[in-house]
Chain A
Amino acid sequence: MKRFTSRAILAAAMATVVSTGASIVLSQAPQEQQAPRAIPRMPDGKPDFSGFWTNPAQPGARGAATVFTKSKMAPFVPGGEALFYEPRTGDPAHDEPRAFCKPSGFPSGFFGPYPVQIIQSKDYLVMVTEFQRITRLIPLDGRPHQTGIEPTYYGDSVGHWEGETLIIDSTSFKRWSLDDYYYTDPTQYRMHSDAFHTIERLRFSDGNTISYQMTIDDPKIFARPWSEDFEMKFRPEWAKVGLYEFVCEENNRCPGGNCK
């Protein structure tokens, strides 16, 4: 029997999907065209990112989770490549932790193609994703990172403004998957180390678009920091329903391929 890849399945399904009478563009999801708007601002004049946004993604990309671009990455330090690529073991609990409702971690959880709601005040930026209802509480009052804390899946984030750009600096991560690369390579993950450090730079490129740059600084893996540029698109119509609840444990019927 011919072996299908999941990408081939998707392509075939898209090609053959339908139908009688329905004049619908079948190759992609409907895309809302937003009316131009001025860059919204807080009372103190800072840009106001509040609202519903798409996940950070490469400009023009859509349809699946964002994964980092290999050519953007810095060279490995000695031993870094072995730390970066972690082979699968055949144990579902190891190979598919998210299938058991374990956390996606940062940035992986924010790169899934689900809405991100941002709520901003003078002192905090709150970023919430629908997927796994991940919540980041980012103080903007200039405080330093916490010290002496245990590493976590989502790290410790602090923010500050440099002109029109919001800088978010995050540290104190536990070693975990970097992105959803394992969807494309069934043999291994891409991981970050416990020295993982990110710098996000958010600014409006227009009223409906956040230019979102992420710098990866992981000295146990890469010889130098490296960056990739993404975009988040404004989707005000998502406010009608808001973020839908996502309780993974509600009906996770086939964890690790065991449906029984």
Chain B
Amino acid sequence: MTKTLALLIAVLLAGSAALAGHHSFAAEYDSTRPVDVTGTLTRVEWTNPHIWFYLDVRDDKGTVTNWGFSAAPPGVLMRRGIQKEVLKVGSVIHVQGFRAKDGSNNASGGTVTFADGRRVFTASSEDAVPQERK
């Protein structure tokens, strides 16, 4: 388990830092509206142009809302040796990201915290900004 999580950490970090998205972060997500939720992983879409994973989040009144989080593309993750099975449907995770500009319950993945306290960086590629040299 520890080995798997360590690999996940390395892979998600590598993926997030080593690619560019097919659009800019600013186009789709609002950096002034952070999202910080804990919930049960309900679905993983291992698809292009970015993977998505979904959480059922229960609020103080017991209302359950399903949130969607965008992360790195599958090719990047696969190249680093990670398969979709590392995100286990039914597990409880804590996710921090930034909300979609349209105000829907969608967000860019930021960090994921697992039940044992380990945290991984899952922000999608839009957070990796090309560095222009003068």
Report the minimal beta-carbon distance from B78 to chain A, rounded to whole angstroms.
6
Whether A63 contacts B47 by the Cβ 8 Å rule is: no
Which of A26, A63, A98, A184 has the most chain B CB atoms closer than 10 A to its own CB? A63
A-contacting residues, B76-134, CB 8 Å: 76, 78-80, 98, 100-102, 104, 106, 110-111, 116-121, 123, 126-134
B132, chain A: closest CB distance, angstroms? 5
Chain B interface main SS type: mixed
Segment from A136-144, A159-167, A246-254 that makes contact with B: A246-254
15 A-B residue pairs with CB within 8 Å = A6-B127, A9-B127, A10-B128, A20-B116, A22-B5, A22-B9, A22-B10, A64-B130, A65-B130, A92-B27, A112-B20, A184-B129, A244-B74, A253-B70, A257-B27
Top 7 A-B pairs, shortest CB-CB distance: A244-B75, A99-B23, A29-B14, A251-B47, A65-B20, A257-B101, A69-B133
* Cross-chain contact A7 with B129 (CB below 8 angstroms): yes
Total A-B pairs, Cβ < 8 A = 209
Residue B37 lies at the interface, judged by CB distance under 8 Å to chain A: no
B65 at the interface (CB under 8 A from A): no
| Given A9-B127, A10-B128, A71-B134, 6 more pairs with CB closer than 8 A | A9-B31, A10-B123, A131-B22, A132-B22, A183-B24, A252-B22
Q: Do B100 and A20 touch across chains, with their CB atoms under 8 A apart? A: no
Chain B interface size, under 10 / 10 to 19 / 20 to 34 / 35 or more: 35 or more
Q: Is B63 an interface residue (CB 8 A)?
A: no
Size class of the contact patch on chain A: 35 or more
Q: Which residues of A contact B (CB under 8 A)?
A: 1, 3-7, 9-10, 13-14, 16-22, 24, 26, 28-30, 58, 61-67, 69-71, 92, 95-96, 98-99, 101, 112-115, 130-132, 179-184, 186, 238, 241, 243-248, 250-260
